[in-house]
Amino acid sequence: MKMKINRDKIIFVIYMIFVLNVTHSIFYSNSARVLQIPLAMLGLFYMFVADKGFGKIRIKSINEFNAFCTPMIIITMISVYTSIAVYHTTNPSDWKQSIVRCFYYVVPFLAAYYSVGKFGNDTPRLLTISGLISYSTVFIRYIYYGGFRILLHFSNNKVNGISLEVHNLTYCMGLFFLYYLLSDKYDKKFKTKICLILMIGIFFGDKRALYLGLAVTLLVYFLFHKFKEKRLTLLKIIFVFYIAAAFIYLILIKTGVFEALLYKYGINDMSRLTFWNYFSSAYEISPFYWGRGIAYTDNIMGATETMREMRVTAATNIHNDILRAYIGWGCLPMLYYLVNFFLLRVNRFIKDKNEENGWRYFAIASLYLFNNFFDNMLSAENFNLCFFVVYLLLVNDLKSKNDSTEVRT
């Protein structure tokens, strides 16, 4: 696939190297999350100014913003209220940081809005280039300290504190791999090349949660094609299964059954159960359970006494966004999030007569969901940026093959 590289694309690729903020890369920074804010401001400019003149925002832009940002704002406000009024939190950070997390959910959406508006179908490729440039520095450092032979033992291995497991970037590569694999917007030769490159990155990133998510997602998409005439029925069945899986998962953790199963089959929980069990008394599996704020578990785990009790040397999180979201939002808000994330989004595609992309979206959203069973992606700015780029490309359905022209969403 031949594309004309221009100055804007070069600047974008370089900028995104820092925005994607790859773990162990020489470009990694603890303050990188703020780098999306200028892109978000440009996204707002496109919404309010660039298309129709100042203040004349398009209905389509409102619908796109309402798809994810408005529901997240509503859920956050509910959890802020319940954190204060129901649980009488003595730590203002429980609700203040929850608002910050919401802000850093909206910012990636606006940054994605700008990126897709500027670079169209070429946006995932440019982001992939940025990620791989940054990831290459991780390989160089890894080999420098361990030699080339260390590549034969890369899984769960660290040398001088450096690992090829780069967390969020690996999930981003999985997201783009799935997008390209299912897309009809790119020629076969290009798709083969980029999917192979992404597969290599996924292999070295070695995230078991991603393997699970990809397996479930590809199965779901296969079923949609196998039973085309019954897609809507199948959609409802699978969605009910997802809801059941999420809440059964919570029940198994809460009751200790999940821990017993891991112990019985000798599965290494990577210390996750220690974290999950620590919060067993903080929530109930009930429709009447209300959230403590999405930042609640992070705040508790960051406390010195908690780290001492769990025998960890640095602040971390519970590596389970299904549990973290349930504790933070509560039962009904989390259910609303899932309904919006799957059913309402696919229904929007169908109403817009964009059904094929609706099934693609459902499959990719499935990957997002199952990643959250064992990791924290809800507040991962770089991953959300990539997810929203994929969503906006699907919902706008840019027609041209291998599009590298500038468009406005």
Distance (Å, whole) CA 102 – CA 76: 7
Place of tokens 């791999």: 177
353, 153 contact by CB (below 8 A)? no
Determine contact, residues 361/346, Cβ cutoff 8 Å: yes
Token pair 């440039």 is at which residue? 133
Nearest to 177 by CA among 157, 142, 205: 205
The CA distance from 274 to 56, in Å, is: 52
Query: Residue 408, by phi and psi: left (phi above 0), alpha (psi -120 to 50) or beta?
Result: beta
pLDDT computed for residue 374 by the predictor: 84
User: How would you class 205 by CB atoms within 10 Å of its CB: exposed for 0-12, middle for 13-18, buried for 19 or more?
Assistant: buried
Q: Quick count: other Cβ atoms within 10 Å of Cβ 339?
A: 14
The confidence score (pLDDT) of residue 338 equals: 96
pTM for the model stands at 0.91
Q: What are the tokens at 154? A: 């890369």
Instruction: For residues 103 and 95, give the distance between their C-alpha atoms in angstroms, rounded to a whole number.
Output: 13
Q: Kindly state the DSSP code that residue 48 receives in the 8-state scheme.
A: I
3-state secondary structure of 97: helix
The whole-angstrom separation of Cα 84 and Cα 62 is 31
Q: If we measure between CA atoms, which residue out of 339, 297, 304 comes closest to residue 319? A: 297
With beta carbons less than 8 A apart as the criterion, state whether 342 and 239 touch. Answer: yes
Note whether 161 and 376 are within 8 A (CB): no
Task: Give the CA-trace dihedral at 138, 139, 140, 142, to 10 degrees.
Answer: 80
DSSP state of 42: H
Rounded CA separation 270/52 (Å): 52
- For every one of its 409 residues, what pLDDT tens digit does the chain have, with 9 covering 90 and above? 455 668 999 999 999 999 999 999 999 998 898 999 999 999 988 887 765 544 445 667 888 899 999 999 999 999 999 999 999 999 999 999 999 999 999 999 999 999 999 999 999 999 999 999 999 999 999 999 888 888 877 777 788 889 888 889 999 999 999 999 999 889 999 999 999 999 999 999 989 889 989 998 999 888 888 888 888 889 889 999 999 999 999 999 999 999 898 888 888 777 788 888 889 999 999 999 999 999 999 998 877 777 777 766 666 778 899 999 999 999 999 999 999 999 999 999 999 889 999 999 999 999 999 999 988 889 899 999 999 999 999 998 765 444 444 444 3
d(CA 197, CA 72): 34
Sign of CA dihedral 304, 307, 311, 313: negative
Contact 194, 153 (CB under 8 A): no
The predicted structure's pLDDT at residue 399: 56
How would you class 4 by CB atoms within 10 Å of its CB: exposed for 0-12, middle for 13-18, buried for 19 or more? exposed
The token duo for 95 is: 């609700």
- Separation CA 49–CA 70 (nearest Å): 21
Which pLDDT score is estimated for 226? 83
> Rounded CA gap, 255 and 269, in Å?
16
The pLDDT, as a whole number, for residue 3 is: 52
CA dihedral of residues 53, 57, 60, 64 (deg, nearest 10): 130
Angle, helices 321-329 vs 331-339, to 10°: value is: 120
